[in-house]
């Protein structure tokens, strides 16, 4: 089972993580043997009068692509409505080239209406818009060309020149039936989040994916399962951003408990974990790495 680390990007209490810390944690993750590093794609969160936000995902991922050499680089996940889908496919092909084939293109339909409203994006028909987008992105990456006349997004004889790596992995975050069906139809990997230890809710969601694969005539074993797992360090933990959806029962940030959680997920059948640290700091990453080392021993 592979394990990846979410990079710290958020503005907490009006103070954003400086890039030097993000870069340090990307390099430390690589040195510790983690398989991947991940960025989150949000523009802001609003809870009453408080506004918090994150650094822009693609810019951060491009920077750490140049800083690192081995780890895979994932988006967990890009909201397709924030970027033109054909241009996003072009951006993905380019970043994958820059990183020598290390990109995992994670996509989702989005959910957080305040950021849509603030930045002028429509909040209606999120799944319908996503379907148009992934059809275009998938065609451009797999075939190099796309023609699509959709309700929300259209392209005419669009082409990726130079082409994308045709086996660039596409990941989709999905929970409900329509998104599960689109995952089964277009994705190489599925993401579900956020959890502590494996649970009945997680297993039920996996069964939903298997049902979607049956509807699409696809072998569910061909879809990689990635699970977002929260590891919290109680003595220094921060409250998650409003509406973040982080697990109500996170893994406790002690090396032995981290290692035990990884073993539980491996037994459950996860292919890759994406770890959200609370808080995400060089010190908590060091503890996570210790737990990861015990898991691999």
Q: What is the pLDDT along the chain (297 residues), one digit of tens a residue?
A: 999 999 998 876 666 789 999 999 999 999 999 999 999 999 999 877 788 889 999 999 999 999 999 999 999 999 999 999 999 999 999 999 999 999 999 999 999 999 999 999 999 999 999 999 999 999 999 999 999 999 999 999 999 999 999 999 999 999 999 999 999 999 999 999 999 999 999 999 999 999 999 999 999 999 999 999 999 998 775 555 433 445 568 999 999 999 999 999 999 999 999 999 999 999 999 999 999 999 999
Retrieve residue 124's tokens: 């209606």
Please check whether residue 9 is in contact with residue 47, taking contact to mean a CB–CB distance below 8 angstroms. Answer: no
CATH number at residue 99: 3.20.20.30
Please check whether residue 4 is in contact with residue 277, taking contact to mean a CB–CB distance below 8 angstroms. Answer: no
Rounded distance, CA 193 to CA 174, Å? 9
Total of domains in the chain? 1
Rounded distance, CA 22 to CA 47, Å? 25
Retrieve residue 251's tokens: 């893994």
Rounded distance, CA 90 to CA 269, Å? 33
Retrieve residue 263's tokens: 């073993």
Please check whether residue 273 is in contact with residue 198, taking contact to mean a CB–CB distance below 8 angstroms. Answer: no
Q: Which residues form the domain of 262?
A: 2-296
Mean of all residue pLDDT scores within the chain: 94
Tens digits of residue pLDDT in 240-294? 543 344 556 899 999 999 999 999 999 999 999 999 999 999 999 999 999 999 9
- By CB atoms closer than 10 A (0-12, 13-18, 19+), residue 261 is buried
Computed on alpha carbons and rounded to an integer, the radius of gyration of the chain in Å comes to: 18
Strands 224-232 and 189-195: parallel
Q: 236-258: string of b/e by CB count within 10 Å (b at 16+)?
A: ebeebbeebebbeebbebebeeb
Rounded distance, CA 31 to CA 112, Å? 34
Tens digits of residue pLDDT in 159-171? 999 999 999 999 9
Beta-carbon contacts of residue 82 (< 8 Å; ≥ 6 apart): 41, 43, 110, 119, 121
Measured in whole angstroms, the distance separating CA 102 from the mean position of its chain's CA atoms is 14
Retrieve residue 36's tokens: 């991947």
Q: Where are the alpha helices (DSSP H) in the chain?
A: 19-31, 57-67, 85-98, 113-119, 126-143, 177-186, 200-216, 255-268, 282-296
Please check whether residue 182 is in contact with residue 138, taking contact to mean a CB–CB distance below 8 angstroms. Answer: no
């Amino acid at each position: 089972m592979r394990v990846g680390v979410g990079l710290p990007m958020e503005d907490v209490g009006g103070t954003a993580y400086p890039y030097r810390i993000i870069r340090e944690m990307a390099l430390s993750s690589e040195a510790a043997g983690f398989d991947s590093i991940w960025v989150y794609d949000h523009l802001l969160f609003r809870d009453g009068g408080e506004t918090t936000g994150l650094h822009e995902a693609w810019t951060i991922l491009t920077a750490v692509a140049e800083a690192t050499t081995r780890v895979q680089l994932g988006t967990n996940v890009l909201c397709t409505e924030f970027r033109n889908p054909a241009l996003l496919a072009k951006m993905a092909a380019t970043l994958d080239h820059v990183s020598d084939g290390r990109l995992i293109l994670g996509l989702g339909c989005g959910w957080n209406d305040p950021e849509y409203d603030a930045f002028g994006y429509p909040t209606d028909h999120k799944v319908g818009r996503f379907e148009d987008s992934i059809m275009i992105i998938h065609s451009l990456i797999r075939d190099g060309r796309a023609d699509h006349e959709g309700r929300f997004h259209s392209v005419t004889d669009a082409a990726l020149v130079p082409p994308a790596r045709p086996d660039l992995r596409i990941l989709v975050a999905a929970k409900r039936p329509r998104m599960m069906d689109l995952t089964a139809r277009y994705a190489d990997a599925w993401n579900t989040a956020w959890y502590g230890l494996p649970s009945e809710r997680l297993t039920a969601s996996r069964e939903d994916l298997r049902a979607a694969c049956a509807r699409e005539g696809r072998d569910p074993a061909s879809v990689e399962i990635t699970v977002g797992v929260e590891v919290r360090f109680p003595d220094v933990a921060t409250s998650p951003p409003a509406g973040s959806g982080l697990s109500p029962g996170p893994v406790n940030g002690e090396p032995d408990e981290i290692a035990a959680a990884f073993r539980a997920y491996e037994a459950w059948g996860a292919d890759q974990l994406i770890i959200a640290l609370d808080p995400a700091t060089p010190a908590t990453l060091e503890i996570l790495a210790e737990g990861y080392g015990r898991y691999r021993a």
